[in-house]
Structure 1
Amino acid sequence: MFRMTTLALLACSTSLAWAQDDALTLPASTVSAVAAEPDEATGINLDKTIESGSRLNLNARENPASVSVADRATMERLGVRNFQDAANALPGVNASAPPGWGGYVAYRGFNGAQIGQLFNGINLQYGGSARPVGAWIYDRVELLGGPSSFLNGSGAVGGSLNYITKLASRDKDSLEGRVSYSRYDTWETAIGVNQALNEGDGPRHYARLDYSRTHTNGYIDRQENQAGNLAFSLLSDINDQLSHTLAIEYLEEQEDSPYWGSPVLQPLSGKLRIDKHNRFNNYNVEDGRYEQRTRWLRSITDYRLDDATQLRNTFYHYKGQRDYRNLERYRYNAANTEVTRSAAYRQRHDQEVNGDRFELTHAGDLFGLASDWAFGLEYSRNQQTNYPLSISANFDTVDPNGFNPGEFLDIPGMDAPRTKGRSTRTDTASAFVENRTRLTERLALITALRYDHIDFEVVEHATRVELDRRWDAFTGRAGLVYDLTDAISLYTQYSTSAEPPGGTLTSASVAQVADFDLSTGRQVEVGSKFDFLDGRGSATAAAYRIVRKNISVPSSSVPNTTEQAGQQTSTGVELAASLKITPQLLAAGNVAWVRAEYDEFNENVGGVAVSRKGKNPVNIPERVANLWLTYDVAPDWQVGADARYVSSVYANTANTMWVPSYTVYGLFLKHDLDAHTELSARLRNLTDETYARFIHQSNTQYYLGEPRSLEVAVQWRY
């Protein structure tokens, strides 16, 4: 089936007819943060544009790929606290934030750098930049399944997540806020305002400001976290054709004594277990620390030449600094009576990204067929310098029933001066084109092609070793969408990806890139998107097969390094649906199944090559499912329940250790005090399940999920 689909797509891609019968609109430079009406805040909207799936302003029904979105109304209905919670609501996504991994995402059998994580369409190419922060300033999270290099540049064989910030809106003036409090002294205060600055003729200006402050003592001992997140934007309509948006964001976060996981009991084989009595122990030193400071600047200019042709230019600047100071590895002795602590680590990451993207969209005719085009050029420079200091030796052995955590400077050698370790510079020049063709009234051909020239330079300061590598990547897609009826569409797609070796170039060493060429991926996907029961329900279904060659995987024998695997194949199915069972009762959910395995991979274990053919990658769940039920008891009262299931995952590439599956449940109650104010209570992890959201492969440590907690919140909007 997949081979026939591929041949059909390749044949169609040679067609000279490229068209569409709907005129493109000016790319939206505004995002409304006003909550949707209740009916809009439920279910799957197949007719809403999802910008992360194409530059042609296609909605989900028109896109020959699996695309989904958690919009602002959905995030509020589900009670998400950060953008990673929103990502986990999307089909097949399993995201967490263990220290050292930043924003970890597993999707379609891949993880790490194989899943693109973008901020407003910009890829920072560094996992630590996607560490989840408060969701208040974000308008929505969008997901594109499968290889997406054609849209976002090199990488992203499994898919791309796009975190999109609120921007100034022309819609109406608004003032909104939120205050919440929950277990472990966890609180959030947030405010947002959108305001028209002037009226009358001439240029019009609109401003938006969002700010949130969060604090928690954490469910792990001594893990206090506080963060402040600010977003400001100014939209200026110069005239009927020209508009400009200036967007600024700033984040500060500090976490004391970060939790690096709970050590698993010996022996390290089979189903891994922890001591639940001591599951909240923090084995880090007393003054362990994680800090980050980031800023964004975007300048977006939109110009409408006419109704058919628009231009957009986006200049972007990002600056981030992250500091780590921790004792990270913990291991039980054979009798499970004592824990040995080791792996002291101190590091600073300085990153700066500057770039400019130019896009032109045009709606016209070609050989008598309506044709929509998107052309673009982009250039970016991504620079990072790290300042590492690590000592892998054992520090001490403690009694888990009570111990003195000690101070970081108690560790011999950790008071050394800060020195540069490695600097990288990645210059990327790109050109891209997309097209949609209406071959018939019901059949459309969507194609895309992208070229990336990557110039990479790495300097190892200690050894004064330098390396300069260059790669050229061509990626694309060809897809067909057939409207079986006005309510049902079928699609098929073939897409490719390319990624430099080393996983993430921003932190790659000389050894990781010196002798390796581009990693490549290809996917065949078929699916359907449809409404049913007179529009009361909507659903999407997708089946795919992805083949990835020369992928980078974390080494199970050497911490903080990667190895090149020959080939991995992922085959899977994703289903999502929502249904208004009655006018008061909404059911929504999704389920994803994936079979991911290595086809070719000889792992270096103690100097011996060991085949991992047929084995599953680490931390990849075979099944992920979400379910939500919402019932309107009265016009101003609403109750709901939710459940999330994640199947077991392997903890090593030999698949001799695994972490059990888990299911967590939640309840919520919401009451509208008046037309502007709502009060809510949300109970998370109803059964107080003890579960691992992630397993550290090299450290063999659980990263535990949150215990049962109750949150109360008040939110208002004027």
Structure 2
Amino acid sequence: MPRSRCTLVLSITLVLFSAHAAQVHAQSQGDGATTLDGIEVRGQRVGLDRDAAGATRLDASVRETPASVFQVDRDTLEARGVRTTQEALFAIPGLVVASPPGHGNAVTWRGFSGSQVTQLFNGIDVKYASIAARPVDAWIYERIEAIGGPSSFLYGAGAVGGSINYVTRMADFRADSAGGLARAGSHGASVLAGGVNHRFGGDAATHALRLDAARSTRDGWVDAERREGWTVAGSLASRLSPTLVHTLALEYQNEDNRRVYWGSPAIVGDSGRLEVLPGAAGRNYNVADGFYGQEVWWGRSLLEWDVGALGRIVNTLYHYDALRDYRNVESYRWDAARAGVVRSGVLQQRHDQQVTGNRTDWRRDGRLAGLPTQWTAGLEVSHNRQTRFPQSIGGEVDVVPVESRVPGGFFDIPGTAPGHVPGATNRVDTVAVSMENLTRFGDRFGLMTGLRHERIDLDVVNHRAPTATNPARWSRDYASTTGRIGLSAEVSDRSNVYVQVSTAADPPAGILSTAGFSALRDFDLSRGRQVEAGAKTDFADGRGSATLAAYRIVRENLAIADPDTPGQTLPVGQQSARGLEATLDVRPVEALRVQANLGWVDARLDEFFENVGGVPVSRAGNRPANTPARVGNLWLDLAVAPHWSIGTDLRAVASRHADSANTLRTAGYALWGAYARWQATPEVSVTVRGRNLADRRYVLHAIGTQMVYLGEPRGVDVEVRASF
């Protein structure tokens, strides 16, 4: 979308917001009790009795779902000043995330990472989360849902470590509302956002319209980096009859990053750990015209039909269209002999991806052998097409001083040229059927089961000269059946325990939407399985809740280097993880709220050979790279006066290995933030927030053993938020 069109969309949004806000505010002056009641009702929706959306398609609560279920709702996003989907994920115990430009939200959870953690948008998997799930400005999202461990039975191939679902705000028949946000802070960061939900006809409305838009900018904390992002989401809900509702939802995302920061050269410090090269922090060794950008369009048509005694049917027709472009020098290493930073990794790349599909879900309550039961059944078909246009130049580009600030232009490098030449097109067609059941045995026990069978057809066309390892065209088909069975039991009115077994399937290497012949060949899908037991409880007369889960996951048949034939791979590897996760949310007194989570994982490469210089080397017994053993988070919020509140947050991440060889580690880190909020009126608040207040320099993600991706230094922002 051209910038002028984006500006027009945001302008229209803000005009509608301003007009509607004035109308709603005027109405509220005559009926303050109604407004207060609305706040109270919304507050009561938190806790273990909320709907377990994202973990099941059944009508079940978090308490009675035998799984680790996490939700980050809109109130939490706002209270914590969450800026992007990346920051929202800190609410999930044991999870770490980083977003180097060549990755999306690069999530590591329960010992698994990359494509082994599925990331979805409104329940839709574009099967390219390692890139497509780039951090998005949080304004347009209603909540983030997550389920720990294998969940292919819900979302299809993948999801060994877990699934994360980003849910967009949608038109709502319950009430008119409007809101806005303005934020400015360190590193040239700014956000301007607005949204409105309007019912046509008041409480008897047959149509509701929601429109949200946000524009964000950031200069970055490294030399000459500049980011600009747009997000726009609109939806129109129409009550076609008392039992039939249709919603049309459109969404647009645009991210423009100039001279992108890819990481910093690293050295082995005095502590024996991998750390940033002295003098390199804040330097940008990318070319002056380095670039990453993406433009994403979403379209969804949702039809909800209440068929009475026969149940409820929801049909979702969707289309996704994304164009991503890269033009960078991406790799930097310190060369002591030449006293400079060696640059390499020249890549100009384009991804052109479209996904079209339809999912139909049916849910019905009934009885099974005289016992109350729920059923769901689903049918999904999708077509995923992606063409990649890579242009890469091997070898070194040059050697630049550590203090270098403007190291040349991309097209000054010999061998580079403007334009895009297609490399390969991957087409992935999926057909899947699924079912879930929840049967209750008396008042204390519930048995939840799920099953999914899918067929995946992959067809790859090579647009370049064919070779033995990259033929002109090849295809593969896969079939997988995955499931979950879990038993939940009430041990008191407010406490449950559960045990479950779940399975997953995913490609042995790479991602189907981009994988080449050498990664997949004639291999079948890898298999994952999990055993999990846990407990969930409310206490202190409902003022607190806590969860605890213990799990073990094993992934088999992943692709590894053939120890007997250098250059070949075999689908015989194994990786495993065992761990504990705990959460706490308690209000010991009315003015104070304490929230915390903790994750511990022992992750292992059980059977794994890595190709090192053409020689297979065993990594059995090692920990996967960038996988910390412990991650903890704490949030404290205190009301100190009728209109004032303060709070602090702490995040601690243990040290991680930088590579599969486990030869080097990066240091663990702890980050501290704080805020002060003034509730100027019931509708308007002003918040000053500091992040990384100790100004800790820390490694967020290791990129091999020669580069590190650093986290953001200290920053402060001021935010004005309004809702009506």
TM-score for the superposition, normalised by structure 2? 0.91
Structure 2 residue 70 is matched with structure 1 residue 68: yes
- Aligned match of 1:332: 334
- Separation in 1 of the partners of 2:570 and 2:105? 21
Q: SS where residue 409 of structure 1 aligns? A: helix
| CA–CA separation in structure 1 for the residues paired with 2:160 and 2:694 | 36
Distance between the aligned counterparts of 2:314 and 2:329, measured in 1?
47
Which residue in the other structure is 2:580 paired with?
Answer: 573
CA–CA separation in structure 1 for the residues paired with 2:99 and 2:45: 27
Distance 1:672 1:503, change over 3 A: same
Distance 2:602 2:65 in 1: 25
Query: Quick check: 1:589 aligned with 2:596?
Result: yes
Cα deviation, 1:132-189, whole Å, max 9, x if unaligned, reads: 0100000111110000000001110000000000000112111100000001110000
Q: Deviations over 1:627-662 (max 9, x none)?
A: 000000112111000000111111111100111100
**Structure 1 counterpart of 2:712:** 706
For 1:684 and 1:269, the matched residues in 2 are separated by 27
Equivalent in the alignment of 2:609: 602
Report the counterpart of residue 183 of structure 1 in structure 2: 186
Q: What is aligned with 1:30? A: none
RMSD: 2.1
Superposed displacement of residue 501, structure 1: 2.9
1:593–1:552 Cα change, 3 Å: farther
2:647 alignment counterpart: 640
Q: Which residue of 1 aligns with 2:83?
A: 81
Q: Are 1:140 and 2:143 an aligned pair?
A: yes
The aligned counterpart of 1:20 is: none
The 2-side partners of 1:182 and 1:563 are apart by 51
- Return the offset for 1:307: 5.1
Alpha carbons 2:72, 2:88 under 8 Å: kept: yes
1:363 to 362, 365, 371: 365
Q: Give the counterpart of 1:376 among 369, 372, 378.
A: 378
Report the counterpart of residue 257 of structure 1 in structure 2: 259
Contact 1:193-1:209 within 8 A present in 2 as well: yes
Q: What is the rounded CA distance, in whole Å, between the counterparts of 1:660 and 1:62 in structure 2?
A: 39
Partner of residue 301, structure 1: 303
**What's 1:26 paired with?**
none
| Matches of 1:602 and 1:276, distance apart in 2 | 34
Decide which of 613, 617, 622 is 2:629's aligned counterpart. Answer: 622
Residues 519-555 of structure 1: per-residue CA shift (max 9 Å, x gap) = 0000000000001122121001000000001235899
User: How far does the alpha carbon of each residue in 1:635-694 deviate from its partner, in whole angstroms, 9 at most, with x for none?
Assistant: 211100000011111111110011110000000000011111100000000100001111
Classify the secondary structure of the residue corresponding to 1:279: coil
Which position in structure 2 is the counterpart of 1:458?
Answer: 460
Q: 2:508 matched to 1:501?
A: yes
* Greater RCO (CA < 8 Å, at least 6 residues apart): 1
Deviation at 1:43, TM superposition (A): 11
Q: CA deviation at 1:579?
A: 1.1
1:499 positional shift: 1.1
For the residues of structure 2 that align with 1:674 and 1:554, how far apart are their CA atoms? 63
* More displaced stretch, 577-586 vs 599-608: 599-608
Distance 1:276 1:579, change over 3 A: farther
Contact 1:294 1:318 in 2 (8 A): yes
The separation in 2 between residues aligned to 1:251 and 1:659, in whole angstroms, is 34
- Determine helix, strand or coil for the equivalent of 1:264: strand
1:99 maps to amino acid: P
Counterpart amino acid of residue 449 in structure 1:
L
* Equivalent-residue separation in structure 2 for 1:461 and 1:268 (angstroms): 49
When the two structures are aligned, how many residues end up with a matched partner? Answer: 678
Give the 3-state SS of the residue equivalent to 2:589 in structure 1.
Answer: coil
Q: Residue 238 of structure 1 aligns with which residue?
A: 240
Does the CA contact (< 8 Å) of 1:118 and 1:124 recur in 2?
yes
Q: Which amino acid aligns with 1:162?
A: N
Q: Larger deviation: 520-529 or 391-400?
A: 391-400
* Alignment CA distance shift 1:39-1:96 (3 Å): farther
2:700 partner letter: R
Matches within 5 A, 1:451-530: 451-464=453-466, 465-530=472-537
| Letter in structure 2 aligned against 1:244 | H
The match for 2:225 among 223, 226, 234 is 223
> How far has the Cα of 1:401 moved from its partner?
2.1
2:140–2:233 Cα contact (<8 Å) kept: yes
Q: Which residue of 2 aligns with 1:424?
A: 426
Native 8 Å contact 1:44 1:538 kept in 2: no
Question: Gaps spanning 5+ residues in structure 1: where?
Answer: 1-33, 556-560
Counterpart amino acid of residue 616 in structure 1: R
Q: Is the 8 A contact 1:43 1:588 kept in 2?
A: no
* AA at the equivalent of 2:650: A
* Amino acid paired to 1:132: P
**Secondary structure class of the residue paired with 2:518:** helix
Q: In the alignment, what sits opposite 2:20? A: none
Give 1:36 deviation, angstroms: 8.0
Matched, 1:716 2:722: yes
Q: Tell whether 2:540 aligns with 1:540.
A: no
Q: Is this contact kept in 2: 1:651–1:700, CA < 8 A?
A: no
The structural deviation recorded for 1:366 is 1.4
Q: TM-score, normalised by structure 1?
A: 0.92
Q: Does 1:166 align with 2:198?
A: no
1:562, distance to aligned residue in structure 2 (A): 9.6
> What CA deviation, in whole Å up to 9, does each residue of 1:46-92 have, x standing for no partner?
01102100010221101100001110000111111011111122111
Evaluate the alpha carbon distance shift between residue 275 and residue 39 of structure 1 in structure 2; reply closer, same or farther with a 3 A threshold: farther
In structure 2, the CA distance between the partners of 1:264 and 1:311, relative to structure 1 (3 Å rule), is: same
CA deviation string 1:356-382 (max 9, x = no partner) = 001110100111111100001000000
Residue 405 of structure 1: aligned partner: 407
Change (3 A) 1:450 1:639: same
